[in-house]
Amino acid sequence: METITKTSHGRTLRTEEMVINMGPQHPSTHGVLRLELVVDGEIVIDVIPHIGYLHRCFEKHSEQMTNYQQVIPYVDRMDYVASMNSELSFAIAAEKLLKIQIPERVDYIRVIMCELQRIASHLIAIGTYGIDIGAFTPFLFCFRDRERILDLFEMTCGARLLYNYIWIGGLSHDLPQQFIPTLKEFIVDFRKNIKELNDLLSFNHIFIKRTANIGVLPADVAINYGCSGPMLRGSGVKWDLRKDEPYSVYNKFDFEVCVGKGEVGTLGDCWDRYIVRVDEMEQSLRIIEQAIQTLPEGNVQSAVPKRIRPNPGEAYARAESPRGELGFYIMSDGTGTPYRIKARSPAFVNLSIISEISRGCMIADLCAITGSVDIVLGEVDR
């Protein structure tokens, strides 16, 4: 495509736009995402995301299960770095459909696990984001701390990535004896490590130069596109389902909703989205501390139904995953098999904004923009 431009001296320049692919093998696309770039030299004119490389028919698979409980391992594989949060969203929707009242201990343990998973997910987002910009050491530090969280999960249910832990009506395992002491040690150490991360990466001069004023997402555009999670809060919008539409027992805990403030650049830029995730890890520690201090006794499987056959009807529930509002719609026809299951993926919705915030940037800046969205293709494609 040929374009004609005129300089300030009135001279006509003819330039040619070029279409190039970034991905699906490029590491900065954070998975098998193909970005079709229309560029004029180093300037990005347009970005067209191409998805579907990881499509596994999650919804149709779920509708072939003979039991609602069998859907949970499939839910795990959507956002595979935040499986606990995905399980919670689905379990809440199923329990709403079945009208199940779960023990309070189950709710508290679910919150502890989901906040640990939020930290683990953000550590991946932050560590890999550092590599996108050119900082390798923070990646090692983030994964070091994430391993300790995975050790806690393994101690509890035997799995480190795909857990099948949060069941409809309860949990697969109660907390082991050493869980709380080990968790308390982690909290003490990790608080120091957040400060170390900020000194090393967050307020690093080069990192700020690469992320401030890049990929600016105004609040009204974020709302119109349906963005959620750190993507929305990074633009200064104070919206968090844990506060604004509390589920489980989040209304019993005191914590802050972290938002971008334009501290080092324009409000809603890549740095704001990054720092929201860093701040959220500290708030997750606050929630976990309160939960373990008031953890009630009880049987975590007392409300697990032996036979799941809901009455004909439908239910929708949503929860705050590390990437935003994750919702599940379930329709029952009165049999033991789900008639219809539909997932509302926050990563899919957040990815749709990439064309809007990338036009006019440099190709190198597109790596920073893509990383700041924090997508997981298992959830995008389903």
Helix (H, G, I), strand (E, B) or coil at 233: helix
Kindly report, residue by residue over 241-273, the tens digit of the pLDDT: 999 999 989 999 999 999 989 888 889 899 999
- Give the CA distances from residue 208 to residues 122, 241, 286, 363, in Å, rounded to whole numbers and listed in that order: 19, 30, 27, 17
Helix (H, G, I), strand (E, B) or coil at 327: strand
Q: What pLDDT is stored for residue 301 in this prediction?
A: 87
Domains of the chain (ranges plus CATH)?
A: 2-48 (no CATH), 58-381 (1.10.645.10)
Q: Is 284 exposed, middle or buried (0-12, 13-18, 19+ CB in 10 A)?
A: buried
User: 51 is written with which tokens?
Assistant: 């998805």
Q: What pLDDT is stored for residue 346 in this prediction?
A: 92
Strands 313-321 and 170-171, bridge-based pairing: unpaired
Stated pTM of the model: 0.91
Cβ-defined contacts of 182-188 (< 8 Å, 24+): 182/151, 182/152, 182/155, 183/112, 183/116, 183/152, 183/288, 183/292, 184/292, 186/148, 186/149, 186/152, 187/285, 187/288, 187/289
What is the Cα 52 distance to its own chain's centre? 19
Q: What pLDDT is stored for residue 165 in this prediction?
A: 93
Query: CA-CA distance, 90 to 167, in Å (whole number)?
Result: 9
∠ CA 345-349-353, nearest 5°, is 160
Q: What pLDDT is stored for residue 2 in this prediction?
A: 55
Asked if residue 353 lies in contact with residue 369, where contact means CB atoms within 8 angstroms, the answer is no
Q: Which segments in the chain show pLDDT lower than 50? A: 7-8, 13
Q: What pLDDT is stored for residue 13 in this prediction?
A: 46
Q: Where are the beta strands (DSSP E) in the chain?
A: 2-6, 12-16, 18-22, 34-40, 43-50, 166-167, 170-171, 313-321, 324-332, 340-344
Kindly report, residue by residue over 309-325, the tens digit of the pLDDT: 888 999 999 999 999 99
The dihedrals phi and psi of 135, each to the nearest 5 degrees, come to: -105, 115
